[in-house]
């Protein structure tokens, strides 16, 4: 049984220390390094069965990374791709609700593999949120414990063969982001999410530098909450106009598209019904379909290029 499940169940929530992560002697340290090496080997094997691994990154909080991850996963799945989503947001896991698997409890197989939850269109989902007893239980972990939790999810999840794994990252450019980027071998690239505000632009530029420093290819930028369209068809740029495109030009990165603001999005997300599934004819769902086409053509074309 992977120790993460035990750790989460019997856990140390509330500030109590997780003693398994506090080596007290040399033997313990050696065992710990051995375990980490085994896990890294397991990650390599698991990831070798996944064709394209994409991280969704922003730097900025609340710009819609999780919503974009969930909707892109459904859009890719509706195009016949086998898709998995790893929610790497330890403190604010919102993927289960946005993907309609809230309340599902992750199960482990007898040989210690985590079975993902299955969202609509067969998308497989794993999240720390599916290991917590309820919505109000906070995860109070320091950096090394978060790192080992993410490593364990990557090492033990039985994704099977997938076309796409999307990893929803929390805001920032710290522990969790580094862990994911460094642990996933041959990562295909990052999708950057912004909103059209200058405050977001400044933080997103940092996230782009972070990706470039780590040699993480950037697939492109998505601008979320771009505009509001009235029933008469008029468009209103509530936060600003063209910021995503400007970031793309400034950083020489592709611009993938704009997602409108829609009150039905936050309503669906809050109620645990996946927006993309409930409103497939909406402007936003159509925008995700177009962005999914672009992503498919970018990553699959790159992959088919001779070395
Ligand atoms: N295009 C949109 N129109 C309306 N509401 C949206 C849109 N995109 C996201 N939201 C809402 O905005 C809020 C933030 O979205 P989300 O949780 O996806 O952001 P995030 O970047 O993942 O946040 P965090 O940094 O906390 O992980 C949610 O309530 C979501 O329902
Ligand atoms: Mg999020």
Highest mean pLDDT among 25-34, 141-150, 200-209: 200-209
**pLDDT band of 156, cuts 50, 70, 90:** very high
pLDDT of residue 12: 35
Average pLDDT of the residues in 132-153: 84
pLDDT of residue 133: 78
**pLDDT band of 137, cuts 50, 70, 90:** confident
Ligand 1 pocket test: pick from 88, 228, 266, 286 the residue with the most ligand atoms within 8 Å of its Cβ.
266
Residue burial 168-201, b: 16+ Cβ < 10 Å; e: rest: bbbbbbebbbebbbebbeebbbbbbbbbbbeebb
In the predicted structure, residue 13 carries a pLDDT above the cut 70: no
pLDDT of residue 61: 94
Q: What percent of the chain has pLDDT over 90?
A: 74
In the predicted structure, residue 3 carries a pLDDT above the cut 90: no
Average pLDDT of the residues in 151-169: 96
Q: Whose CA is nearest to atom 25 of ligand 1?
A: 61
The minimum-distance atom of ligand 1 relative to the CA of 260 is: 1
State pLDDT tens for residues 240-294.
Answer: 999 999 999 999 999 999 999 999 999 999 999 999 999 999 999 999 999 999 9
- For the chain, what are the domain ranges? 3-304
The minimum-distance atom of ligand 1 relative to the CA of 261 is: 3
User: The pTM is what?
Assistant: 0.92
For helices 26-47 and 143-156, the axis angle rounded to 10 degrees is 40
Q: What is the chain's alpha carbon radius of gyration, rounded to the nearest angstrom? A: 19
Find out whether the beta carbon of 271 lies less than 6 Å from any atom of ligand 1.
no
**Distance from the CA of 20 to the center of ligand 2, in angstroms?**
29
> Integer distance in angstroms from the first to the last C-alpha of the chain?
40
The minimum-distance atom of ligand 1 relative to the CA of 168 is: 22
Average pLDDT of the residues in 58-80: 96
Query: In terms of CATH, what superfamily is 3-304?
Result: P-loop containing nucleotide triphosphate hydrolases (3.40.50.300)
């Amino acid at each position: 049984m992977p120790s993460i499940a035990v750790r989460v169940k019997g856990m140390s929530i509330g500030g109590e220390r997780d003693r398994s992560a506090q080596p007290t002697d040399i033997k313990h340290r050696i065992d710990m390094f051995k375990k980490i090496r085994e896990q890294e080997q397991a990650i390599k094997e698991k990831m070798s069965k996944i064709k394209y691994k994409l991280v969704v990154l922003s730097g900025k909080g609340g710009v819609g990374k999780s919503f974009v991850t969930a909707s892109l996963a459904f859009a890719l799945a509706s195009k016949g791709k086998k898709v998995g989503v790893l929610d790497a947001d330890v403190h604010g896991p919102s993927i289960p609700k946005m993907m309609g698997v809230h309340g599902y409890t992750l199960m482990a197989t007898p040989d210690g593999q985590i079975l993902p939850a299955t969202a609509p269109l067969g998308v497989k989902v794993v999240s720390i949120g599916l290991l917590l007893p309820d919505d109000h239980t906070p995860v109070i972990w320091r950096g090394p414990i978060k790192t080992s939790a993410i490593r364990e999810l990557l090492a033990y999840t039985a994704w099977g063969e997938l076309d796409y794994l999307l990893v929803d990252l929390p805001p920032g450019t710290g522990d969790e982001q580094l862990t994911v980027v460094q642990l996933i071998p041959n990562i295909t690239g990052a999708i950057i999410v912004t909103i059209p505000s200058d405050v977001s632009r400044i933080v997103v530029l940092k996230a782009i530098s972070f990706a470039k420093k780590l040699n993480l290819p950037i697939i492109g930028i998505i601008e979320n909450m771009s505009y509001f369209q009235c029933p008469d068809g008029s468009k209103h740029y509530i936060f600003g106009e063209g910021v995503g495109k400007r970031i793309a030009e400034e950083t020489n990165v592709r611009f993938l598209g704009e997602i409108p603001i829609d009150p039905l999005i936050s309503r669906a997300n809050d109620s645990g019904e996946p927006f993309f599934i409930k409103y497939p004819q909406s402007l936003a769902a159509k925008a995700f379909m177009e962005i999914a086409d672009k992503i498919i053509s970018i990553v699959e074309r790159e992959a088919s290029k001779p070395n």
